[in-house]
Amino acid sequence: MRDTIRFLKNGEVVELDSVGPTETLLDYLRLRRRETGTKEGCGEGDCGACTVALGRLVGGKMVYQPVNSCIQLLGMIDGAELVTVEDLASDQRLHPVQKAMVDLHGSQCGFCTPGFIMTLFTLYHAEEKQKSRKTVTEWLAGNLCRCTGYRPIVDAALEACFDAADDAFTWRANETRQKLQDLADSRDVYLGDSNGFFASPSTLDGLAALYAQHPDATIVAGATDVALWVTKNLAELPKIIWLGRIEELDRVEETGSGVLIGATATYAATEAAMTRIETSLGALWKRIGSKQVRASGTIGGNIANGSPIGDTPPALIALGATLELHSADGSRALPLEDFFLEYGKQDRRDGEFVTGLFVPGLSANQVFRCYKISKRFDQDISAVMAGFRFALSDGVITEARIAYGGMAGTPKRAATAEAALAGASLEDPATWGAAMQGLISDFTPMTDMRASSAYRMETARALLAKALMEISGTAPEDVNVLIKREVDHDRAA
C-alpha cells in the first residue's frame, strides 16, 4: 500500500501525501504551487484555457497528451510527467511553439494563449502527423479564443509543430523514461481514511474488495463527467476510487471477430480500432469532445454513466456489443442494450462495476452507419444519436438493428422499425415507409433545451432514411455531411 501520489515535473519527482478526493489538478497548480500560467476558464473542459500536458510511457515510448486540468483530479496524474506552460522555456529561450506564437502574432489578450500553447506542445511531440491546416484545427478544436482569431494561431502551429521535435523534453527523454519506469509499481494507492479517501487499486480483485467495503464510493475512469459534478454541481464526493492503475482494464485488443475494450481505454486509444470496424464509427469518435476530452474520457465511463444522450451506446448497441461487469462475487456479461433499464438506472448489482466490452466486427453481408446530430459540429452533446446495422441478401434487408440516443430515457433499440424492415428492398424506397412510421411507436421523445420532441422525431426518421439511401447507393453526393465537410476543408486549404 502506498499513501502518496508521485509524478514528474521539470525532471524532478514530486510526492504528495495530502490529496483531497476531488481536488483538481488546476486547483493544485494555481492554489498550491501558485503557477498561474494555467488559466481557469469554463470549469467544465470546454474552453481549453486550463490545458496542460501529461506524458506517459506507451509501449516504451513517451507520449504527451493534452488534458483539461479543471476536470482532471489531482490523484489521477500518479505515475505521469506533468508539463505546464511554465516548464517550456529553457535557458531563457522560448520553446519553438511559444516563439512561433510570438513571431506570428498568435496572441492578443493572452488569456487563452497558455492553453493553446500546451495543446500545440503535444502536437509538436506527436508522431505520424500530416502537415495541414486540417490537422491543426482538429488538435485545436478544444481550445477557445475570442479575440485573436484562429488564423495566426494555426499559422504558428504550421510553422513550429511539424519538424522533428528538438526541445528540452527530447534532450532528456531517456532520463524521463527511466524516472517514469522507476515510479511505476504494483502497490495500491490509498490517501485518506474510511470517511474520505482517494484510492487507486492496482488489481481487479483489489478494486472489487475495496468497492464491496465502500459501496458509496464514486468510481472514476477519466472523470470527464464526474469532475463536472464537482465543478458545476458542487457535489461532495468524499470517496473516490480511480481505475487508472489496473493494467488489465486498459486493453484494446483486436481479434478476428471484433474488439475487446477495457473500461479505462480512452477514446483516443480506441479510435483507430473503431475506424477499422467502419469509417462512420471513426468519424463519430472524432466528434466526441476534443483532443483533451478524448485523451482522458473512456468508453467504459460513457456507458457506466448511463446517460440517455451518451454518444457511444447507440452505435455500440446497433453493433451488438456485449458488456462485462465484475464484483467480489464474480463476473458476468450481458448485451449492452440490457444494461440500461430506465433513466438513471442500470442493471448493475451491488458491488458491480464495468470492466469492459466486446464490440463485434461486421460480417461480409452486414453494413453499418452511425450519425450524431448536435448544435455544434465539434465538442457538443448530441440532440439525437443513431446507429444502424443491416444484414443484406441480394439487396434485401434480412435483419436490422437500430438504436437511438436522445429519444428516450435510455439509449434504446427501435424494435418496431427493425421488424418492419425485415424483407424491405434497398431498391424500393416504398418498402421503407412502415419502418419510418414504426419509429413513432418506438419512441416518445421529450422536449428540452437541445431539441423539441417534434424535431427529434423528424430527425430520427430522416437519419433512418439517410442510412438506407447511403447503403442503397441512391443518396445524393452531398448527403454525407461528414465527407462533404472534409472535402470542402481540403479544398479551402
Tell me, yes or no, whether 239 and 376 share the same domain: no
Report residue 283: phi and psi, to 5°.
Answer: -65, -40
Please report, for the domain that includes residue 28, its CATH number. 3.10.20.30
Please report, for the domain that includes residue 420, its CATH number. 3.30.390.50
Tell me, yes or no, whether 171 and 315 share the same domain: no
Q: What gap in Å lies between CA 264 and CA 248, rounded to an integer?
A: 9
Q: Do the domain assignments include residue 491? A: no
The share of the chain scoring above pLDDT 90, in percent, equals 90
The share of the chain scoring above pLDDT 70, in percent, equals 96
pLDDT attached to residue 397: 98
pLDDT single digits (tens) 352-386? 999 999 999 999 999 999 999 999 888 888 999 99
Q: Do the domain assignments include residue 1? A: no
With 70 as the cut, is the pLDDT of residue 484 above it? no
pLDDT attached to residue 480: 57
pLDDT attached to residue 60: 87
Q: Higher confidence at residue 489 or residue 283?
A: 283
Neighbouring residues of 346: CB distance < 8 A, sequence distance ≥ 6: 304, 306, 339, 340
In the chain, how many domains are there? 3
Tell me, yes or no, whether 206 and 263 share the same domain: no
What DSSP designation does 40 have? Answer: P
Tell me the mean pLDDT in the region 318-322. 98
The kind and range of the H/E element at 65 are: strand 61-68
Q: Do the domain assignments include residue 427? A: yes
Cell for 319? 453493433
Tell me, yes or no, whether 449 and 465 share the same domain: yes
Q: What gap in Å lies between CA 72 and CA 273, rounded to an integer?
A: 25
pLDDT attached to residue 149: 85
Tell me, yes or no, whether 337 and 417 share the same domain: yes
What DSSP designation does 414 have? Answer: -
Tell me, yes or no, whether 12 and 153 share the same domain: yes
Domain that holds residue 240: 189-247
pLDDT single digits (tens) 189-201? 999 999 999 999 9
Tell me, yes or no, whether 177 and 72 share the same domain: yes
Enumerate the β-bridge partners of residue 210. Answer: none
pLDDT single digits (tens) 10-24? 999 999 999 999 999
Q: Which of 197, 229, 247 is the last residue of a domain?
A: 247
Q: Which of 136, 153, 183 is the last residue of a domain?
A: 183
pLDDT attached to residue 148: 85
Tell me, yes or no, whether 374 and 275 share the same domain: yes
Q: Do the domain assignments include residue 124? A: yes
Q: What gap in Å lies between CA 136 and CA 101, rounded to an integer?
A: 14
pLDDT attached to residue 204: 95
With 80 as the cut, is the pLDDT of residue 165 above it? yes
Tell me, yes or no, whether 463 and 321 share the same domain: yes
pLDDT single digits (tens) 417-460? 999 999 999 999 999 999 999 999 999 999 998 899 999 999 99
Tell me, yes or no, whether 301 and 444 share the same domain: yes
Tell me, yes or no, whether 386 and 441 share the same domain: yes
Mean pLDDT of the chain: 94
pTM of the entire predicted model: 0.92
Q: Which of 197, 227, 247 is the last residue of a domain?
A: 247
Q: Do the domain assignments include residue 115? A: yes
pLDDT attached to residue 309: 86
pLDDT attached to residue 59: 86
Q: Do the domain assignments include residue 146? A: yes
Neighbouring residues of 328: CB distance < 8 A, sequence distance ≥ 6: 208, 209, 211, 212, 351
Please report, for the domain that includes residue 223, its CATH number. 3.30.43.10
pLDDT attached to residue 209: 96
Q: Do the domain assignments include residue 488? A: no
pLDDT attached to residue 475: 74
Q: What gap in Å lies between CA 136 and CA 202, rounded to an integer?
A: 36
Tell me, yes or no, whether 194 and 312 share the same domain: no
Contacts 24+ apart (CB under 8 A), 88-94: 88/117, 88/121, 88/167, 90/167, 90/168
Q: Where does residue 289 fall: left (phi above 0), alpha (psi -120 to 50 degrees), or beta otherwise?
A: left
Q: Do the domain assignments include residue 406? A: yes
- Name the residue with cell 521539470: 10
Confidence category of residue 488, pLDDT binned at 50, 70, 90:
low
